[in-house]
Each structure stands twice: as C-alpha cells, then as structure tokens.
Structure 1
Amino acid sequence: MLVPASTAATAATTAVQACDFPVWAAGRNYVAGDIVRYTNGRYYKASHDNPGYDPVISTWYWDPYTCGGGNPPGGDFVVSEALFKQYFPNRNGFYTYQGLTAALSAYPGFTKTGSDTVRRQEAAAFLANVSHETGGLVYIVEQNTGNYPHYCDGARPYGCPAGQAAYYGRGPLQLSWNYNYKNAGDALGIDLLRNPYLVERDPAVAWKAALWFWNTQTTAPGTIVPHDAMVNGRGFGETIRTINGIECNGGNPGQVQSRIDLYRRSAGLLGVDPGGNLGC
C-alpha cells in the first residue's frame, strides 16, 4: 500500500531515532513498552512487566521489535512467515513463527550453511520431520500417556528430579527421556531437567530444544547429526535414521514414506529440488 511522502518520511525518521535503545541486562526490572537491544544485535519490546527475563527464552514477556529497518528475528531465514503458515495451516497456536525465529540464534549454522540450495533443503527436511512428529504442529505433547513413566532412566546420577513421568515427548521433535532434557538444558543454559514443562509452555524453548537435537544429536541406528546429513550431502533419509531409526530398513515403510512425502512438499514450497537419498 502506498503512503503519502510526508508520512513515509516521518516513519523513516522515527525508525532511525528508535534505534538508540539500551542493551538488555539480566535481572534488571523492565516494564511493558521498554525496548532493548539483545546480545544477538536484535531488538525486543517488553509485552509485560518482568524482572529481566531473557527475551529469546521468555517470549511471553517480550516481542520482537524491528528497529530502523533492520532485520526482524530470523534475519534471512529461508522460511518466511507466510510459507510457515501455508505449510502448517492447522497448527496449534503454541507453535508460533516468532518462537521459531527467536530460537534461531541458539544454532546460527542452521539453514545458514552451504549454498542456497543446501540451506533450503535443510529447512525443508527440518519442517518435514517436525510435521511428522507433531501431526502438522498440532500436538505439543506425546499423545500416548501410557508411555510417560517409561522415559526416566534412573541409572543416571542426576535421576529424574521432576518426577518419574515428567520426561515424555514434547515440542516440535518430541524431546523425551531425562538425559535428553538434561543435555539439552545444559547446552541451552536452561534447567530442563528440573523444569521439563518449559518445553510445552514456552514456544522459543520448544523450538530451541528441537534445534538442539537437530544440530547436535545422533541416536542409533543413526550415525550422523541431522544438520550434518543435510549440509554434507548424505540426504534426507539419514535424518529419519537419526530421529527414529526403527522405521528404517523395512521397520515401518509407511512412516518413512510419510516423512518423504512431507519433505517433498516442503521442498516444493521452498522452491528447491529435494535431492537424492530420501529413504532409509
């Protein structure tokens, strides 16, 4: 929509002036409306009073703020908000695009490694697996409650301080088991071992937990981290093997095909060839 030149000039001037905001400080009291510059160079506006909560973790208290025409959270993220909404038309309101883009700073190599084709293929692969694990971002927590008590490995020295049945699957990649919550929390600087419920209550934490697994983990029979599989040319099939390898080698061909179909769709939306090695 076109705007009068005078209005546009005023808006531009306001945007430039609006960039002179203090750096966020943990433990400092903020009131709704305060604007800060975070350590990632991006700006956030307090939506609620808070005692210095982290803007990229406590997203209920902070909203992304575009300052001086700068990039919003996510910057040149290859997945636009419009595409995100198109791919997940029935998503639960918990899974916000803002939560996803706020989480990207935790793993800056995600969808930012290699050629434009590789970046888009990785984004498509991640979205496909997320869609498969959550029914199209409909489910926040694992639906089979009977499994809940099974995810506590009591042999670990730290045990299960949140309770025997507290480490069920949550979030975009359905993070489960006490040791995964412990390791993810340690990597992200969040105590998920004692408060695993953050993964189902804070959208940015949920996305960060999924990105932690995608960018750092491999589970048998998988042999490669999903991020590395996509940027090193191993293909989408290897992401399936790491995320849920029991589906591979004839274990559940229907589930494998479902993931492949979702990957082809997301790759199509992103305008990229899916490449080879799709199955496992």
Structure 2
Amino acid sequence: MKSIYALVTTALLALAMLTVLPMTAAQAAACATAWSSSAVYTGGMQASHNGRNYTAKWWTQGETPGGAQVWRDDGACTGGGGGGGTTCNYPNWVAGTQYNVGAIVRYTDGNHYIAVHANPGYDPVISHWFWDPYTCSGGGTPTPTNPPDPSGFVVSEAQFNQMFPSRNSFYTYSGLTAALSAYPAFAKTGSDTVRKQEAAAFLANVSHETGGLVHIVEQNTANYPHYCDATQSYGCPAGQAAYYGRGPIQLSWNFNYKAAGDALGLPLLTNPWLVQQDASVAWKTAIWYWMTQNGPGTMTPHNAIVNGYGFGETIRSINGALECNGGNPAQVQSRVAKYQQFTQILGVTPGGNLTC
C-alpha cells in the first residue's frame, strides 16, 4: 500500500500537468483574419495577432493588438487567420532578398504573400510584385482568394467582364490596366479591403456615368457648345463644341481637358478626341479625375475611400452639386446599388456612409 505522502505527491503532480497542458485545437477558437497595421478597424471588428484573437473597441489603425487598450483580448486561437494561420511555415519576408515568381513569404502583419513578379525584396504590402491574401492550412499550402493579374490590379479580367457584360469593345481591360501606371496609388493604397473598395467605387461611378461602359461620348449633342469657357487664357483651340463629355468618367470642359492633359503629358486641349480614340488615354483621364480632383465635393474620390469617408463622398466629388443633399436621390441610389454589386463580385464589404 502506498503511503499517504506518495498518494498526495502523485495527485499534485497530476494536477500540475493538467494546469500546464496547452489548449487543444478543438478547445481554441479559430483565428480571425490576421491584424494588419495598414487596415482600419472599427468597433466590433476582429483580428488575430501572435496566436490570439482580439476585438476592436473603437476605431483604430496601426495600434498593435496586445499592446493597445483599443483591443479586447479574446483569448488564444489556432489556424485560420486569413493567411496568418499557425499551420503555415513559410519563411519570413526579408527586405533586399531576391525572390523569384511563386515565392511565398510571411510578412510582419502575419499574412502570407506570393510573388507574381521576380523582385529584390520589395515590400509585399506596398508593391504589386506580391499578391495577397493567402490562406494557409494543412502544412502550409496556399490558396489564392482571387487569381492575380500581372498588373497587380485587384479586379481580374473575369471580374471586369462580369461587371460590364454589355460594355462597348472600346473600353478594354488591357486599356484600364495600362492606365494604372499614371497613378500607382490608385487601388493600391491601404489594406486589401480598402483597395477592393476603391476599385469597386471607381468602377461603380464609371458604370453610372457611361451606362455600363456603353457610351464613349456624351449622348446629348445639344450640350456640346456649352463646355467652352472662353474666359480661360488658353481659350478653346480645338473649337467651341470640342470639349464635350468623353471616356469612363465623361471628362468635359476645356479647363478639365487642359488640366488632365498637363498632368498626363498629353495634348488634350488641342486634341480632345484622343479620349474617345485611345482606350488607355480614356482610362487615364478617369483615374486622373479620381485621384486629383475634388469636383463639387471637399476631397478627391480616392481620399474619400482610403481615409474612410465612404462611397457617398465619391458621389459628392463627381456629381454632388446635382445629386447630393436630396438633389436627386434616385441617381444616388443607382450608384450605391452598382457599388454594392461590385463589392459583392470582389468579395469585400461595402463599408458605411454609402449615400450623400
């Protein structure tokens, strides 16, 4: 018979073993999408970091879970993580290291990225040489959520065709991706969610302006002579009626053709017809407006999305004088419906503040 001392010792050892056993995979919650320092989180949104889930108490960006009071610690987690799961074992990204096409790295935000172009260690988050996000599971096999386009654009050609099934053949996908070089920050700023929201917002407004990328030029020809502001020092060298709406965002007025041409290095003041003859030029003028012009609003459409003001502010910047503040709620709702459709195609939430 064992002594009382031996029995007590055995019991204490058993208890100690129970208290140090790690939580099993069955007991631990699945990891939420990995926290990203560039993403914006609002109250109630979840993220995982270093094997633990967290919930944001209020708006936050760049505040690390576990070290900031804005985050509520929800406990240990396992797997999942939107590409940052604990079952992945790819090497950490190292700046300055040469990566070949197909190389998979784990970035400092916990997500995994794959190289779509060979590169000398470019930052996966701010360059288009890598594609994200990747979900790793079962030993680290990645599965892309959306096949990458070589341009790095967050909208694939298949998705573009789905958005515009009846588009005019003039509005090519290749023309759009060729135009991206004019403004590298377009749809490549912030988190993957923000990038997709910006692309959806841009294309939704473009769809509204052109009837689904059907119209290349403004349909009401009676308006054509109205778009010449003769008070400008440069006048209207292409003619009184030459500056009518053209392209995806229906660029109009001689001063807009002048400004866009100067910014893009194109002779649009003297040859505005380039916008209806060259698909890449047409797309560039639309992106120029999106990235640089406040229009009747208070900010550029680009800033409206990347700074969290919502889709409604992009409407205000494009046609707010006529549509916002009750001016034409039906037109506003038409834009919103298209935006919601496009975000669904891209697999991303539309966010808040949809109307103006």
TM-score (norm 2): 0.58
**Paired residue for 2:341?**
265
Residue 137 of structure 1 pairs with residue 213 of structure 2: yes
Runs of 4 or more consecutive aligned structure 1 residues displaced over 4 Å after TM superposition: none
Which letter does structure 2 place at the counterpart of 1:195?
N
Selected match of 2:306 from 222, 231, 238: 231
Residue 159 of structure 1 pairs with residue 240 of structure 2: no
**How far apart are the structure 1 equivalents of 2:293 and 2:319?**
12
TM-superposed deviation, 1:186: 0.1
Residue 93 of structure 1 pairs with residue 93 of structure 2: no
SS in structure 2 of the partner of residue 272 of structure 1:
coil
Residue 179 of structure 1 pairs with residue 261 of structure 2: no
Selected match of 1:251 from 293, 310, 327: 327
TM-superposed deviation, 1:72: 6.5
**How far apart are the structure 1 equivalents of 2:262 and 2:183?**
14
Within-5 A mapping of 1:146-225: 146-220=222-296, 222-225=297-300
Higher strand share: 2
**How far apart are the structure 2 equivalents of 1:128 and 1:121?**
10
**How far apart are the structure 2 equivalents of 1:227 and 1:268?**
20
Q: Which has the larger radius of gyration?
A: 2
CA offset digits 1:194-244 (Å, max 9, x no partner): 000000000000000000000000112x00000000000010000000100
Q: How many residues align?
A: 210
TM-score (norm 1): 0.74
> In the alignment, is the contact (CA less than 8 A) between 1:73 and 1:101 conserved in 2?
no
**How far apart are the structure 2 equivalents of 1:248 and 1:87?**
25
Runs of 5+ in structure 1 lacking a partner? 1-70
TM-superposed deviation, 1:73: 5.4
Higher helix share: 1
Q: Which has the higher contact order (CA 8 A, sep 6+)?
A: 1
**Paired residue for 1:37?**
none
Which letter does structure 2 place at the counterpart of 1:114?
G
**How far apart are the structure 2 equivalents of 1:170 and 1:216?**
18
**How far apart are the structure 2 equivalents of 1:177 and 1:163?**
12
Which letter does structure 1 place at the counterpart of 2:306?
V
**How far apart are the structure 2 equivalents of 1:183 and 1:256?**
27
> In the alignment, is the contact (CA less than 8 A) between 1:226 and 1:242 conserved in 2?
yes
Which letter does structure 1 place at the counterpart of 2:307?
N
> In the alignment, is the contact (CA less than 8 A) between 2:149 and 2:156 conserved in 1?
no
Within-5 A mapping of 1:10-29: none
Q: What is the Cα-based RMSD across aligned positions, in Å? A: 1.4
> In the alignment, is the contact (CA less than 8 A) between 2:167 and 2:214 conserved in 1?
yes
**How far apart are the structure 2 equivalents of 1:206 and 1:186?**
15
**How far apart are the structure 2 equivalents of 1:173 and 1:115?**
25
**How far apart are the structure 1 equivalents of 2:304 and 2:317?**
10
